[in-house]
Structure formats: C-alpha cells, structure tokens
Structure 1
Amino acid sequence: MKTTLEQFGFTATINHHGAELVSLRKNNTEYIWEGNPEFWGKHSPVLFPIVGTLKENTYRHGGKQYHLPRHGFARDRVFELVSKTDATAVFSIASDPQTMAVYPFGFELQIIYTLTHQGLTIGYLVCNRSDETMPFAIGAHPAFALPGNFEDYHLEFEKNETPVYHLLENDLISNRTASLVLDNQKLPLDYALFANDALVFKKLESKSLTICKDDAPLLTVAFAGFPNLGLWTKPGAPFLCIEPWFSYADTPESNGELSQKEGILSLAPHGNFETKFSITIR
C-alpha cells in the first residue's frame, strides 16, 4: 500500500512497507531514484535501530548475543499510517515479539513526511517504551535520480572545507581516511569516487549539500541535526545517495557491546528523541 501527498505543487509518495519515500515530484520532474533492481532496488530506506553493518552482524546486550542485518529491520517492516492531511503523513511501527527477538527493547518509531513550499521535510520520532536505557541509531538513505551523464553533476558543500571520510573494509569502518579536494566548495561527481563503496563522514562542517547539474542547482539536502553522513552510488548507476546519519557501521575493533558502539545514541527509559532533515527543490 502507498500513500500520496499533494500540496504546494509537490507530490510525494510513500510506501507503507518501510515507510519508504518512493517518489518526490514537481512539474512532472522526478527527484527520487526509480529503484531499478539492476543497480539498487530501493529508493529511500529508513535505517533503524542500527546504521551500517555490525561486526559479524552481531551485538551483545545484557549478557546475551543478538543478530541484526545491515541497517536494521525498520526498512523491512510494514508501517501503520497514523494520520494524514494533504501535506503531512505520519507512519509508525512498534516493538513486537519479532523485533524483541533481535532487539530487546520496547519502542515506537514514527516517520513524519511534510510537504512545504520548498520541498519535503522528513522527521523521526523514537520513543523508548522500556524501563531501561535504549541504545539505538537512526539514519536516512535517500537516492536522488541523476538522469543523463553522471559527470555532468557536482555537489556543492555549504562550507569551504576539506572533508575527510573513512574508507569501508568488508562493510566496516576502517581507520583509513582520505580527503576530498573541493574547488570553491564544489565536488565534481565521478564514479571513481565510489570505487571502494560509500564515503563515510564522521564529521562535516557543512550541514547541507546541493546537487547541481551544469552549474544549475537542482536540490539541497539540509541535515543540521545529524552528526554523520554517507555518500554512495554504484558504478554506472544514475543516482546519488546523500545519507544523514546518527552513528555508522562498526569498526573492526568493535567489542560488540551495543551500548559501547561508536556513535550510538542512548535514550533514557520512556524518553523520546526527535530529529529531521529536509529536501529543498531548487
């Protein structure tokens, strides 16, 4: 089942499976990747309760061992549509015996989509329904359609900086780093950038990135509340993922304790956590 929002000249469509944004359109232009499985069969999955890959897909909590797949389970769950207006839709999942078997915490996760005059805001509300502190991560994985020649596009960073990213090794975050060389805050897109998979930034001065084509801005992703970011595509694929994150994959040195995982968040018993990012169509 899918829900569609139409307001302010924008149309957004969300699949109840994963509460995944599958389309964002304005003036018959589609800005979200179509999900062609030849390259990557998803559009914009929600990452919860982990971001990235756990070492051996395993973690420990309370003396017990658990297994979670890469990016967690939220993207594979069917969300309930809690409320809807012309411009806003709220989706929710809550803990059940199936989630408790792999993640032993009572929780509710809400995803809030809101059309604005500029584009779309995506909000996250995480509620700890348990009597103990809940370690968790949350992240976005939107893929933006880049039709035509990939090299005709570039990214414009908000700040004039030299971004440092960590390289992945076997899907884990290594200690090896590299730097991007920006030209007047601009990074030309080239598939060679992603020869070793995603670029993972533990820290960025910029809190927004703009995709441009032939020097014309197309859209801006603003992620002021998020400390981490991933950039990713596949060789030959006509899309780019700009991924605001809280936390990231394990390091090879990880001891497996979820509460000690690098970048993990801790939510107090019966506490709430809220964050959001926005997509502005230029």
Structure 2
Amino acid sequence: MTRDGLVALTSPALTATVSPHGAELQSIADAEGRSLLWDGDPHIWKGRAPILFPVIGLLHDDGYRLDDRRYAMPKHGFARDADFAAEQSAPDSAVLTLTDSPETFARYPFRFTLAIRFALEGAALRITATIANRGDDPMPFSFGFHPAFRWPLPYGAPRDGHRIRFAAPEGVPLRRIDGDGFLTPVLHDSLIRDRILMLHDEQFVDDAMIFEGIASRSVRYGVPGHPALDIAFPDMSTLGVWTKPGAGYVCIEPWAGISEPEGWDGDLRDKPGSRRLAPGDARRFGMTIALKEDFDEA
C-alpha cells in the first residue's frame, strides 16, 4: 500500500493505483510516468473509474420496487461508495472484495460477494469483476465499468483528433438519457462512420452517448500516428461514452445493464437490462486497458 492507503501495482510498462474505497482505479501511467487516467478534479468531476453495482444510472424516486417493498438506491448503486477489503500478494496484482452487510442489506436484500481483481500484464491492465450470489433467492443486478481517460491523451495529438474505433461494424442506433437521467425511447443516428466515432464536445451537450447491443467487444481510443488505448470488454454488449463538454476526460464505459427507462415503475427483477444470478452462481465481467504504440497497430 502507498502512504495514502492506495494499492500500488507495477510492471515494466505501466504503473497503477487503486483505492479500497469503491475499488476505484486512481491512476494509470506509462513507463515515462505520463498519466492516462483522469485525475478526479472535484471542481469538474470527482470520479476516476467508479464501479457500477448493483444498478446502472438513476432510479425513479432514488429507489426501486422489489415485491411489495421499496428500497432506496443511489445513482449507479452503492459499490462505488463502499469500502472494499484489499488483498495484495504480488507487486503487479491485487483483489478487492465487498461482501453484503447490514448496511447493504437495507438497500439491496441479497447476500453477495463482489470481488475486483486488478493485474498488470506488460502494457495491459486487466480488471476482472466476479459477482457471486451467496443467498437462497435469484439475485437481480446490473454491473458496469466507468473509467475516465485523459482527453487528450498525453502524446501531443490535438484534442479534436481523438476518436474511438470499434472492432466490428456497428449498426446499432444511438440512445440518450433525458434531462432527469432516464433512458428515452427515441433512437438516434449512431454517429459511427466506418467503425469510427469522432469525439467532439457538442456530442455531450445531451449527456452520454449509449450504444446498446453492439457487436464489438473492444474499441481503440486515440489518434492515428500516436500511442493509443485498447479497451476490451469480452463479457458486455453495451457501451456508454460520456464527458462534461470541455472537460479533460472521456469515459468509455462497458456495461452489463442499462439506465432505467423513462417512466419505468416495475419490479427490479423485470427492469430492462437487469441480469439475474441463481443461488450459488457467479458471473465474471472483464475489462482490459492496453497501451498500444500506435493507434493503427495491429
């Protein structure tokens, strides 16, 4: 652990730190110490890479219904504000674990374990979340990663040259959330052209861009002719892309789930995008962040 209580990871190509509070990635830097992750400036946005569990986005009236009872739940769930137990057995890896407690049970009446493993492998950071149902009833949940990368990346390319390239051709429409934070039914032109999504501040005036049911399981972020980031998410098919216009970051967010639709008033088990985990079962969701020497590297 570092002096300020962070878990430090090192490899010849990358360094990273993780906070036990929220199991949140705090930094990624290349071998020259150049920062790839947003610094969490609280005057703009305090997040860096929050973990989203057991819901994604806002819920109506800040809660949800389960059977005949309502439960309070904050935006993106409670994991990002919870203290995880940290275990590190090697300089390049660590596991942070959250288990149900009386505090979580008051908001989410299920027995669970959420374990997040961080491992540096060369120029890649692999993050694996394992969600286990320790109870006797099927457990509804959503899960998401929310990393904020530097925009521009620290390699000298102009901000307006940055783009996201999808691994596969994409025909899904663009979806948006309304002014209250809920998913609208309107389908928009995707803005993806020949697998490329160019990034411009005006795209985020209406908040996040959401691509549900994409074929790609990885994207590349950066500028041709400069180092870039590969973000792989083999277990998830929804991608959110978000920033505050003019801010120095862009969030590239793989989700297993989606924001709550406008006017939704059903049981959490039936919420669109919600997964269900049988008693005794576990699900894994992975994300790999890999530094590439050039955007066009194979």
Residue 254 of structure 1 is matched in structure 2 by 264
Q: Following the alignment from structure 1 to structure 2, what is the Cα–Cα distance between the partners of residues 132 and 183? A: 44
Residue 123 in structure 1 maps to residue 134 in structure 2: no
User: Quick one: which of 139, 142, 145 aligns to 1:137?
Assistant: 142
Matches within 5 A, 1:97-116: 97-116=102-121
User: Quick one: which of 8, 21, 33 aligns to 2:25?
Assistant: 21
Q: Following the alignment from structure 1 to structure 2, what is the Cα–Cα distance between the partners of residues 25 and 244? A: 21
Q: Following the alignment from structure 2 to structure 1, what is the Cα–Cα distance between the partners of residues 256 and 114? A: 15
Residue 165 in structure 1 maps to residue 169 in structure 2: no
**1:281 to 1:255, Cα distance in 2 relative to 1, 3 A:** same
**1:183 to 1:263, Cα distance in 2 relative to 1, 3 A:** closer
Residue 284 of structure 2 is matched in structure 1 by 274
Residue 90 in structure 1 maps to residue 90 in structure 2: no
Structure 1 residue runs without a partner (length 5+)? none
The letter for the 2-side match of 1:205 is A
The letter for the 2-side match of 1:82 is E
User: Quick one: which of 194, 213, 227 aligns to 2:204?
Assistant: 194
- Please identify, of 231-240 and 213-222, the stretch whose mean Cα deviation from structure 2 is larger: 213-222
The letter for the 1-side match of 2:159 is F
SS at match of 1:235: coil
Runs of 4+ in 1 over 4 A off after TM superposition: none
Residue 2 in structure 1 maps to residue 12 in structure 2: no
The letter for the 1-side match of 2:259 is A
User: Quick one: which of 18, 43, 48 aligns to 1:43?
Assistant: 48
Q: Following the alignment from structure 2 to structure 1, what is the Cα–Cα distance between the partners of residues 37 and 43? A: 16
Aligned residues: 282
Q: Is the 8 A contact 2:59 2:73 kept in 1?
A: yes
Residue 178 in structure 1 maps to residue 178 in structure 2: no
Residue 54 of structure 1 is matched in structure 2 by 59
User: Sequence identity, in percent?
Assistant: 33
Q: Is the 8 A contact 1:162 1:179 kept in 2?
A: no
SS at match of 1:53: coil
**How far off is 1:165 after superposition?**
1.7
Question: What is the CA deviation profile of residues 169-223 of structure 1, one whole-angstrom value per residue up to 9, with x for unaligned ones?
Answer: 1101110121233343222210111110001111112221111225534101111
SS at match of 1:259: helix
Residue 206 of structure 1 is matched in structure 2 by 216
Structure 2 residue runs without a partner (length 5+)? 293-298
**How far off is 1:140 after superposition?**
0.4
Q: Following the alignment from structure 2 to structure 1, what is the Cα–Cα distance between the partners of residues 259 and 196? A: 27
Q: Is the 8 A contact 1:150 1:238 kept in 2?
A: no
SS at match of 2:170: coil
The letter for the 1-side match of 2:53 is F
Question: What is the CA deviation profile of residues 119-162 of structure 1, one whole-angstrom value per residue up to 9, with x for unaligned ones?
Answer: 10110011111111110111100000123753121111112334
Residue 228 in structure 1 maps to residue 238 in structure 2: yes
Question: What is the CA deviation profile of residues 70-95 of structure 1, one whole-angstrom value per residue up to 9, with x for unaligned ones?
Answer: 10000001111133312210000111
**How far off is 1:273 after superposition?**
1.2
Q: Following the alignment from structure 2 to structure 1, what is the Cα–Cα distance between the partners of residues 171 and 44? A: 30
The letter for the 2-side match of 1:34 is D
SS at match of 1:177: coil
**How far off is 1:163 after superposition?**
4.1
The letter for the 2-side match of 1:211 is Y
The letter for the 2-side match of 1:138 is F
**How far off is 1:226 after superposition?**
0.3
Q: Following the alignment from structure 1 to structure 2, what is the Cα–Cα distance between the partners of residues 6 and 73? A: 29
The letter for the 1-side match of 2:214 is L
Q: TM-score, normalised by structure 1?
A: 0.95
SS at match of 1:248: coil
RMSD after superposition: 1.5
Q: Following the alignment from structure 1 to structure 2, what is the Cα–Cα distance between the partners of residues 267 and 161? A: 29
User: Quick one: which of 67, 74, 79 aligns to 2:79?
Assistant: 74
Residue 264 in structure 1 maps to residue 274 in structure 2: yes
Question: What is the CA deviation profile of residues 82-118 of structure 1, one whole-angstrom value per residue up to 9, with x for unaligned ones?
Answer: 3331221000011111111010111111000011123
